[in-house]
Amino acid sequence: MKHLSKELLVPPGSRIKLAELDAAHTHGVDKDAGERQLKKNLDRLSVLQYLLYAESKRSLLVVLQGIDAGGKDGTIRHVMSGLNPQGVKVTAFKVPEGVEKRHDYLWRVHQAVPEFGQMGIFNRSHYEDVLVVRVHDLVPKTVWSQRYKQINDFEHMLTENNVRMVKFLLYIDKDEQARRFRERIDDKTKNWKFSPADLKEREYWDQYMEAYEAMLHKCSTDCAPWYVIPANKKWFRNLAVSQILCEELEAMKMRFPKPIADLSGIKFE
């Protein structure tokens, strides 16, 4: 399987025009081959997670961002299905409330960073503070425009302290979002997932795309890269995310710790 990480990586400093990307692109992979590889990737992720836990010197933080109906929940459900739940923590970042509002915007994020040996998954993240906050003018531009550097500094600090970060923007186009919204309305088992607020947010599509593009340009770094995943086709989304996670974990070159005692002479009566 080709190195999708190279093809989907946002190089630091580059400018991406999302409207020019094909959200249904599968990079030459057909569905049958993709689903077979996905199964292999899930098996490999299970082994790598066990190794991460055994070594217990580093952690992996996965950030998932995307427009409404972009597939964040589905990615977690399908790609993380083979992981040991004892070693994974999923955090969904919603509108700050209570004590969260009485701290800086990164405070609640730092609380959710996984401990060594663990994997953390952010369903939305600190990037909401340069996305929805920017689109809806929740704070002045003089405030949110400073956050790109603050976020980069924060992520650099994490990586210097053995937290490996990998960030995915799940990109669907506007027509696919409309199709998924319609599915939520037509399927009674999915009615609960639909909110009239989703349609209101859809009116800001262009503004969100501009905010995503600025995020990618300013915050894809060598230590915490962004990947743009064409996510119209769910099977390819799952394949790409699982493949990149395998590559990221393997690049950590983890090793099992040495036993705490000489095991060669141990006998059982």
Give me the residue spans of the domains in the chain. Answer: 4-251
Query: Is residue 222 helix, strand or coil?
Result: coil
pLDDT digits (tens, 9 = 90+) for 13-70: 999 999 999 999 999 999 999 999 999 999 999 999 999 999 999 999 999 999 999 9
Mean pLDDT over each residue of the chain, to the nearest integer: 95
Calpha distance 141→150 (Å, rounded):
14
**Residue 187 pLDDT exceeds 70:** yes
pLDDT digits (tens, 9 = 90+) for 124-181: 999 999 999 999 999 999 999 999 999 999 999 999 999 999 999 999 999 999 999 9
Q: What separation, in Å, do the N-terminal and C-terminal C-alpha atoms of the chain show?
A: 49
3-state SS of 108-175 is: HHHHCCCCCCCEEEEECCHHHHHCHHHHCCCCCHHHHCCHHHHHHHHHHHHHHCCEEEEEEEEECCHH
Please say whether the dihedral angle defined by the alpha carbons of residues 51, 222, 158 and 133, taken in this order, is positive or negative. negative
Calpha distance 245→151 (Å, rounded):
22
Q: What confidence score (pLDDT) does residue 69 get?
A: 95
Token representation of residue 221: 């770094």
- The architecture that CATH gives domain 4-251 is 3-Layer(aba) Sandwich (3.40)
Sheet (strand 88-92) strand order: 9-10, 226-230, 163-171, 59-66, 119-123, 88-92
